[in-house]
Amino acid sequence: MKFELDVHTHTIASGHAYSTINEMVAAAEEKGLRLLGITEHAPAMPGSCHEMYFHNLYVVPRLQGGVEVLLGAEVNLLDTEGRLDLRPSTISRLDLCIVGIHVPTFVSGTKTENTDALVKVMSRPDVHIISHPGDGTAELDFEPIVRAAAEHHTLLEINNSSARPERNKPQAISNMLELLRLHKEYDLPVILGSDAHVHFDVARFNEVIPLLEEADFPPELVINTSVEAFKSYLNLKS
């Protein structure tokens, strides 16, 4: 499989990541990507950037060398009410909005409450991708989430970082296999995300490629293989 894009990455602005925009773009170019997304953690994540950071992104060129760059955020789902840690007026300035559930910033409810909150967030037209729904941070019921992804053209991520042994996320593998099984059943695209926090990891999908194989997942449903398919699925400007 030839990958053209990786849109879930972080730079030093996220506070616990270690490369600059320049280094991330150079790594993307070296790996043959056409499109790189940089999605810093939103303000509720300890050590990440202020909301102001996201207001000033217009100063950064969106074409650097041969690589198109999308600048966005990985916004935190805060609770079962579906609250996020960036205002809609800030999200509207982003090229790309990923929403994720993270240990330090999510107040969990029951499995049903967590699922309903995520489904509610997915119905927003300004939310494009849900990061690592399979990482086990919150208990979730995947079938309604995959149905919501189909209804609202939201992409669910198969996250390489969640599957790394050092992360010690015991449910991640079985959850991601379940997500792949459901996407295959519903004939829906998934997105792979490296979630790189250092430039060496841009477009690193080594942990999840074996899961695609194990699930006998159709390559044409991996949206990272086409920038055009990715943009048109999310209705992004080209």
Element (H, E) at 214: helix 209-214
Closest residue to Zn ion, judged by C-beta, is: 100
The CA distance from 141 to 222, in Å, is 22
- Residue 102 C-beta: closest distance to Zn ion, Å: 6
The answer to whether 195 contacts Zn ion (rule: CB under 5 A) is: yes
Site for Zn ion in 91-120 (CB under 5 A): 100
Q: Does 74 bind Zn ion (CB under 5 A)?
A: yes
Copy the structure tokens of residue 162. 């969640």
Taking alpha carbons only, the member of 133, 120, 153 closest to residue 234 is 153
- Contact region for Zn ion (CB under 5 A) — 25-33, 131-139, 200-208, 213-221? 131-139
Residues 6+ apart with CB under 8 A from 214: 177
Pairing of strands 67-76, 191-193: unpaired
Q: Which is nearer to Zn ion, 80 or 159 (CB)?
A: 159
| Minimum CB–partner distance for residue 77 and Zn ion (Å) | 10
CB of 185 to Zn ion, least distance (A): 26
Question: Cα–Cα distance between 15 and 40 in angstroms, integer?
Answer: 9
157 lines the binding site for Zn ion (CB under 5 A)? no
- Cβ proximity to Zn ion: between 168 and 238 the closer is 168
Exposed/middle/buried for residue 60 (C-beta within 10 Å: 0-12, 13-18, 19+) = exposed
Run of H or E residues at 230: helix 227-234
Nearer to Zn ion, 66 or 94 (CB): 94
Residue 85 within binding range of Zn ion, rule CB under 5 A: no
Do residues 51 and 19 make contact, with C-beta atoms less than 8 angstroms apart? no
3-state secondary structure of 40: strand
If binding is defined by CB under 5 A, does position 131 make contact with Zn ion?
Answer: yes
Instruction: From 114, 104, 120, select the one nearest 139 (Cα to Cα).
Output: 114
Choices 44-52, 112-120, 187-195, 210-218; region in contact with Zn ion by CB under 5 A:
187-195
- The residue range among 27-35, 69-77, 111-119, 211-219 that interacts with Zn ion, by the rule CB under 5 A, is 69-77
- Closest separation in Å from C-beta 92 to Zn ion: 21
Binding piece for Zn ion, criterion CB under 5 A, among 181-189, 195-203, 204-212, 226-234: 195-203
Residues forming contacts to Zn ion in the complex (CB under 5 A) are: 74, 100, 131, 195
